Structure 1
Amino acid sequence: MPQEIERKFLVKGEYKSQAYSQDRIIQGYISSARGRTVRVRIRGGQGYLTIKGASDASGISRYEWEKEIPLNEAEELMKLCEPGVIDKTRYLIRSGNHVFEVDEFYGENEGLVVAEVELASENEPFEKPDFIGQEVTGDIRYYNSQLMKHPFKEWK
């Protein structure tokens, strides 16, 4: 089974000038049940269908299956999604041998900026860029499927 191994951090300070790529992402959830999500994403004019399993105890690793689908199919599947949409821009930033994905959220999650780095193993070392703040790996509040239900603006 394909495993996603990643760590997630809050972002502090400037990061956009370091990005080599950026894309707007719109995504919804056909199912956002804890431990098994089915996500539809539109990014850069392409559609994707993703299924994720439950995270391990550390929150670092979980099953992930993703398939590119035609844009028109993704747009149709978005109509089946649960209420709430995730709208964000993703910036890709190199740091050492890794790429950090920095997500700047809009709408009900405006003001939230998080960075993720994918790893080959749970204890693989990586270089943290200056903009990396507090680690929030495993904190379910920061999962996109939870941000859809309990947006950042409601946390205060």
Structure 2
Amino acid sequence: MIEIERKFLVQSDVFKDQAFKSTRIVQGFLNTHKKRTVRVRLKGDDGFLTIKGESSSSGLSRFEWEKSIPKEEAEQLLQLCEEGVIDKIRYEVKVDGHIFEVDEFFGDNKGLIVAEVELNSETEQFTKPSWLGQEVTGDVRYYNSQLSNNPFITWDKA
């Protein structure tokens, strides 16, 4: 399956009042190669194994395959992951006909808040809420796999 999404920095926490759901996510990566990543995720009490392919030249789309796995298996696989576990709370916010997934990061990525919206096509229009900031679609620094290797606290923010 091809995933099409746009990614933005978030400039205020107003989204928290608009969220209809929030879930703690802990995830690690078995592989963070540019052409493919293999992710293990605990989303609440649910486990997932996900494989993502290389992004398109626009950064808008890439192959994604995901399977649900038992929580216990996800916990075991997390022990095999590369260093740099991602810890975040995902807020889901409905804006007109789209769901924005807003990730507030903790640990070595504390201070970073990123919103993604999945689309049906690369040209699909959507309403941008007031709390969205700069678009970072295609900027690999904001991929979770890269945040696990090069966390936000190490960035030069000057």
Quote the offset at 1:44 in angstroms: 1.4
Instruction: Give the aligned length.
Output: 155
Say what the alpha-carbon RMSD is for the aligned residues.
0.5
Inter-partner Cα distance in structure 1 for 2:78 and 2:134: 33
* TM-score for both structures, normalised by structure 1: 0.98
Inter-partner Cα distance in structure 2 for 1:44 and 1:74: 12
Inter-partner Cα distance in structure 1 for 2:110 and 2:155: 12
Give 1:69's aligned residue.
69
Matching of residues 6-155 of structure 1 within 5 Å: 6-13=5-12, 14-155=14-155
Inter-partner Cα distance in structure 1 for 2:90 and 2:35: 24
Quote the offset at 1:15 in angstroms: 1.3
Quote the offset at 1:31 in angstroms: 0.3
Q: Which runs of 4+ in 1 moved over 2 A?
A: none
Unmatched segments (≥5 aa) in structure 1: none
Inter-partner Cα distance in structure 1 for 2:127 and 2:24: 26
Percent identity over the alignment is 60
Quote the offset at 1:19 in angstroms: 0.2
Quote the offset at 1:35 in angstroms: 1.7
Unmatched segments (≥5 aa) in structure 2: none
